[in-house]
Amino acid sequence: MAKTTPATPKRKPRLLWANPFCLLDTSSGASMTVRQMLLQLVANGYDVKVLGATVFDNPKGMAILKEQFADLDSHLHQLIDAKDGPLTHQMLVSYSYNRNHFTTHEEGLWYSQYVYLLDSFKPDVVWFYGGQTVDMLIADEARDRGIPVAFYLANGNYKSPRWCRDIDLIVTDSQATADMYRKEVGFTSTPVGKFIASDRFVADEHERKRLLFVNPSWQKGASVFVQLAEKLERERPDIELEVVEARADWSAVLRETTKRMGQQRSTLSNVTVTGNTSDMRGPYSRARVLAAPSLWWESSGRVLAEAMLNGIPALITNRGGMPEMVGKAGITFDFPEQCYEEPYQHLLGEQELQPLFNAAVAFFDDEALYQKYVAQAFNVGEEKHHIDRATDRLLSALAPLVRERAGNKEFSASQKKRHRQRLPSRATKPEMKVDRTLQQLINGKIKGVLGSDTQATKLHLTEDFTWQLKGKIIVLDNRANLIKSGLADQMAVTGAFAIVAFDPASEIKTPKQYEGSDTIQLFQHALLGDGRPATLHACVAPEMTSTLAPLSADKLAERHHLGAQEIADLPINTVAVDSITGLESLDWLILDELSDAMAVLENGKQYLEQTLLVQARVPFQLTHEKQPSLAELQHWASRNGFRFYRFHNIRHHSHLPEKLNERSPCASEQESADVLFLPSYERMAKLSDKQKRKLAFIMSACFAAHDMAFELMAGISHDKALEFLEAHKLLPSATQTDGGDENRSSTRMDASRAAFLGHDDNLLALID
């Protein structure tokens, strides 16, 4: 009897979509199109994986993702899986939504996960878009393994041949774009059309009452539409207009354009503005005509395909694939060449605008003409833009690549062949390490601006000076402010600090990272006080949670009404400073404005006798009962060997609308500030050199108070004080001092010329 070999079960074709952009972005037409393409492939038997990042064209497009992940920052530099029907979008959480701010660290993490998926998922096809540096590696790594690569191209910006060196199939959305690239660059691409899901873009019923404009950006012809809308307001106020924002801000382009027209406007009475939405059925149900006066190369125009499927005629420019998208269901206009030049803000003359105005009015006044175009729009939508036809074209384009079944092959053979040293590679699952240095750097630069916190979020250190500290600088932080600002991690790296932080409201989202740390100890649901049990008043806003009772609403500014509402009263333990054992010293005490600061100070007198710095937060606008006042703190300081030094980290409130203040910060009301208390002059004179060096380091590194640090160092060593000034570039060069050539080889002052540092007025003459 003949033996039979069991048939190998037929598996699904495997496709990996890989690109840092998020396909859930509702502000990106390309993302929405590709997402729908992948959904269609899944419906037709494909096994699809998606690898992206939290990169968006505009934050307005983040709504779908934020429904599942409201707090992305808590997942920074980790992989998340966003569910999308039959698709799962695996994404690296990036620091910024902006692709230009995607860091090299993030690119490295994303790239490592990509090659891991190549070797573990073993796709038959890799598909992507994008022309930035890391995008080139997508095709490069796939080709190295013998995996065919497809590319989605839907704009006119890819004129260099490098990006397509390793691409097997280029899929585009229009014949016009395919023809343009074949003529101007020389490569062949396959047009498949747009992919529009009727359940989110085709309305069930149509009122047909408004002239619709989607995404009011300069490239999309916002300046032209503003002129048209203003003319319609004057001459045909009965015609309603609707603007749907995607990436662009209608109010901004309206103000800018009308200002150049001669009279700035902030609104037009005939225009209704709709925010960015993933469900366009509402706007299309109200639309009678679509205006799409794009001024750049428009590969196709997704809104045109959507309009055709809804039977909505279009007014378009003769750019790229737009005429192809609407066929006989639209009217095409040619504007002066200046309109098609960046920044796409050229104003039309009255005669140049009139044809567009006449066509728009005709679609409202001539019902017979309008119905003719409606019928043609439905016809174009059915023939050109029905998703089933587009899907057939896509499946046909991918079929030759999928047929190779590259995922069945052993990749090492291809890799050895291409590798100069004949070596294969095998990717392992990458370790996702969090890097917040960019965030800390940016936060550190946002200081000194009215209306923003001015607390330093970076240390002010220089490699040109060695502090020679002896022993750790011990810090008690009663609200974990150093951790929240990002300063604690930087302080830990120096090895100079030992930080004990209390987090009564559990605001720190990643407490486990400090477990076992030699430099940072974090205690959650605990705080400094008098050592007795207390009540924690948990509020709607965690930053308002306090052991002090919130004030009643009638005593609060309206902005605090919601956040200060109590949701629970919880027991909490307080720790008296003097009851803490094992501390070599207490060099720096940080107190917040939401705990009983006076109780902390009164129950820490033993340690505080030798403390070098007390930093206490003082509210100028009270939010809770028994908050510390500046007068109380100064009175305590004067009785316990401290003196007022300065205010720090002054927080302001703006009375402007939030969006306006974001664009043009202006905040004049001071809400709170840190008060810094240093040892009194009597105590300062008695500090040991070790204590002076510690305090000088704190003041210089953490507060950029280099003048105070200099005075302290001058009391230790004249040479070290000079070295400190030179390291921080606070001394003039020798050439500036003497002007002689012999001094240009060195900017160093010797100690004999500075023997009076900190003790003689001649120092000023020397420095001057």
pLDDT in tens, 4-54: 555 456 899 999 999 999 999 988 888 999 999 999 999 999 999 999 999
Q: DSSP string spanning 542-580?
A: GGG-BSSPBPPGGGS-GGGTTTT-EEEEEEEEEE-GGG-
At 429, is the pLDDT very low, low, confident or very high (cuts 50, 70, 90)? confident
**How many Cβ atoms are within 10 Å of 733's Cβ, its own excluded?**
14
Q: Please tell me the distance from the alpha carbon of residue 4 to that of residue 561, in angstroms, as a whole number.
A: 78
Q: Which residue has the higher pLDDT, 183 or 27?
A: 183
Low-confidence winner among 74-88, 140-154, 574-588, 720-734 (lowest mean pLDDT): 720-734
| 642 part of a folded domain | yes
| 77 part of a folded domain | yes
* Among 679, 697, 729, residue at a domain's last position: 679
115 and 103 within one domain = yes
Structure tokens at 723: 């070295």
Beta strands in 432-528 (DSSP E): 473-477, 497-503, 520-524, 526-528
Contact predicate 223/353, CB 8 Å? no
Q: Please tell me the distance from the alpha carbon of residue 493 to that of residue 513, in angstroms, as a whole number.
A: 14
Domain that holds residue 283: 198-384
295 and 203 within one domain = yes
350 and 232 within one domain = yes
* Among 634, 661, 679, residue at a domain's last position: 679
Q: What is the pLDDT of residue 435?
A: 79
Q: What is the pLDDT of residue 4?
A: 53
Q: What is the pLDDT of residue 741?
A: 40
| 563 part of a folded domain | no
Q: Is the pLDDT score of 730 beyond 70? A: yes
Q: Is the dihedral of CA 579, 580, 584, 585 positive or negative?
A: negative
261 and 149 within one domain = no
Structure tokens at 105: 């660290």
Residues in the chain: 768
191 and 75 within one domain = yes
Q: What is the pLDDT of residue 436?
A: 75
Q: What is the pLDDT of residue 757?
A: 42
At 128, is the pLDDT very low, low, confident or very high (cuts 50, 70, 90)? very high
Residue 404 carries which DSSP code? T
Q: What is the pLDDT of residue 421?
A: 76
Q: Is the pLDDT score of 392 beyond 80? A: yes
Low-confidence winner among 143-147, 337-341, 539-543, 675-679 (lowest mean pLDDT): 539-543
225 and 338 within one domain = yes
At 439, is the pLDDT very low, low, confident or very high (cuts 50, 70, 90)? low
Q: What is the pLDDT of residue 411?
A: 79
355 and 209 within one domain = yes
Longest dimension (CA), the chain: 113
At 510, is the pLDDT very low, low, confident or very high (cuts 50, 70, 90)? confident
At 443, is the pLDDT very low, low, confident or very high (cuts 50, 70, 90)? low
Contact predicate 13/125, CB 8 Å? yes
The arithmetic mean of pLDDT across residues 693-715, rounded, is 94
Percent of the chain beyond pLDDT 90?
61
Q: What is the pLDDT of residue 636?
A: 96
651 and 505 within one domain = yes
747 and 624 within one domain = no
Across all residues in the chain, what is the average pLDDT? 87
Task: Count Cβ neighbours within 10 Å for each residue of 421-446 and write b for 16 or more, e otherwise.
Answer: eeebeebeebeeeebeeeebeebbee
Q: Is the pLDDT score of 756 beyond 90? A: no
At 768, is the pLDDT very low, low, confident or very high (cuts 50, 70, 90)? very low
Q: What is the pLDDT of residue 740?
A: 40
Structure tokens at 644: 């007022």
188 and 202 within one domain = no
Domain CATH for 673: 3.40.50.150
At 745, is the pLDDT very low, low, confident or very high (cuts 50, 70, 90)? very low
| 450 part of a folded domain | no
282, 288, 222: which is closest to 253 by C-alpha?
222
* Among 645, 679, 713, residue at a domain's last position: 679
Q: What is the pLDDT of residue 3?
A: 53
**How many Cβ atoms are within 10 Å of 285's Cβ, its own excluded?**
17
Q: Please tell me the distance from the alpha carbon of residue 38 to that of residue 693, in angstroms, as a whole number.
A: 63
| 279 part of a folded domain | yes
Q: Is the pLDDT score of 425 beyond 70? A: yes
Contact predicate 52/25, CB 8 Å? no
At 544-589, the pLDDT tens digits run 999 999 999 999 998 899 888 998 899 999 999 999 988 889 999 9
| 445 part of a folded domain | no
Low-confidence winner among 216-230, 414-428, 626-640 (lowest mean pLDDT): 414-428
Q: Please tell me the distance from the alpha carbon of residue 759 to that of residue 40, in angstroms, as a whole number.
A: 81
| 609 part of a folded domain | yes
Q: What is the pLDDT of residue 101?
A: 87
At 353, is the pLDDT very low, low, confident or very high (cuts 50, 70, 90)? very high
The arithmetic mean of pLDDT across residues 183-205, rounded, is 90
The arithmetic mean of pLDDT across residues 585-599, rounded, is 95
Contact predicate 137/472, CB 8 Å? no
Q: Please tell me the distance from the alpha carbon of residue 697 to that of residue 327, in angstroms, as a whole number.
A: 73
Q: Which residue has the higher pLDDT, 452 or 259?
A: 259
Determine the angle formed by the axes of helices 706-714 and 689-703, rounding to 10 degrees.
160
The arithmetic mean of pLDDT across residues 645-662, rounded, is 86
675 and 693 within one domain = no
| 89 part of a folded domain | yes
Percent of the chain beyond pLDDT 70?
91
Q: Is the pLDDT score of 515 beyond 90? A: no
* Predicted TM-score (pTM) of this structure: 0.54
163, 213, 210, 209: which is closest to 189 by C-alpha?
163
Low-confidence winner among 64-68, 429-433, 703-707, 760-764 (lowest mean pLDDT): 760-764
Q: What is the pLDDT of residue 486?
A: 86
Q: DSSP string spanning 611-665?
A: -SEEEEEEESS--BTT---HHHHHHHHHHTTEEEEEEEEEEEE--S-HHHHHHS-
Domain CATH for 187: 3.40.50.2000
Domain count for the chain, please give it.
4
185 and 73 within one domain = yes
